[in-house]
Each structure stands twice: as structure tokens, then as C-alpha cells.
Structure 1
Amino acid sequence: MTDAKGRWPKVDPDSGMEDATLLIFEWLGGQGVDAMIRIDAERVQAGQPAWTFFASGGPLSQGVRDDGASAGECLSRGLIRLRDAGLPVPF
């Protein structure tokens, strides 16, 4: 959820995010940012958003985390958070 208004950021399910994932992670690594995306089987079974994006280090003053129902949604939300944190992700 966003800090400002308590709402989830908007994402575009047709953005092709899955196609750009490796390029995004390579770019993040080049900026000194450690990043990962993972799925949690317990949350899948509980019907909760099971994918997690996390990034920290480099120019980020604190870690960035977001969850989503799919890998693409999760990464889209994570990129919104990175941009909000001041990291100009070019994808």
C-alpha cells in the first residue's frame, strides 16, 4: 500500500513487464541495487498476493518492497516504488 493515501498503486497488466524483467534486474545491478522477486507457496495456498519484489542498496536510502498476485504485477508495483524513492528506472 502507498504511504500517502493507503491505496495500492495502479499497474498496467498489458505492459509486457515480464518481457523486460531481466533487463530491469541487470540495470538495477548496474546501479548497485540488490534486487529479487520471489513467490511464497504459503500465500498461494491462502489466496493472498504471493509474489514479492524487494530492492535495497545503491542509491536507495531504504529498502523497497511490494507484493502482487502475479510476477508482472509485483514487478510493476516495485518499479513504482523505486521511482517514488527517486531511482529513475528507464523501463
Structure 2
Amino acid sequence: MNAWQTDPYRLPGLRGLPHEEEADARLPPTPLSAPLPDPALRPAVPESADRRRLDLHACLTAAGIPPRAGDLHAIEVLTLVDDTTYAALRRWITGTS
């Protein structure tokens, strides 16, 4: 007895259900893979800025400084700095070396 077959005496509500092969035959075929998105339709903001924004929110919150609504513009500006400056900013917030 496989996973799809159940004892009808134990579970009487399952009587009359189709067998696995019959159920699969009634399902519409599914595509094997979805088409890839068009690179031209990607957002203009670089993906690293999005990652930095989330990371900055997490660092501030973990440090006990939840960002206020007025801080969102400052966070947006800070996500656009170069890697060295951003690393220093994170080091200052988290207090790590």
C-alpha cells in the first residue's frame, strides 16, 4: 500500500476517490519552468541598495534604535554610499571592529 492508497474501512469518507493514475490523468499539464524575466524591466534602483536598506534597518533595530518615519530619507541616502563608507557606518552602529 503506497502513500496514496488508504484502508477504506479505516477512513470510510475516502471511498470512491480516484486512484493516483486516474487523478494525474485529470490534471492539466504544468510547464516545467517559467520564462525568465526581461532584464530591461528590472527596477532602476540597484539591488545592492535594496539589500543595504534592509540591512541598515536591521542594524539600527538590533542596536535599539528603531528608525522613525522621518529617518527614511536619511536611510535612502546612506544606502547609496560606496562600500567602504557603508562598512564604516555599519561598524559604528553595531559597535563591532
Q: Flag whether TM exceeds 0.5 (same fold).
A: no
Return the TM-score normalized by structure 1.
0.29
Return the TM-score normalized by structure 2.
0.28
Structure having greater relative contact order (Cα 8 Å, sep ≥ 6): 1
Richer in strand (by share): 1
Richer in helix (by share): 2
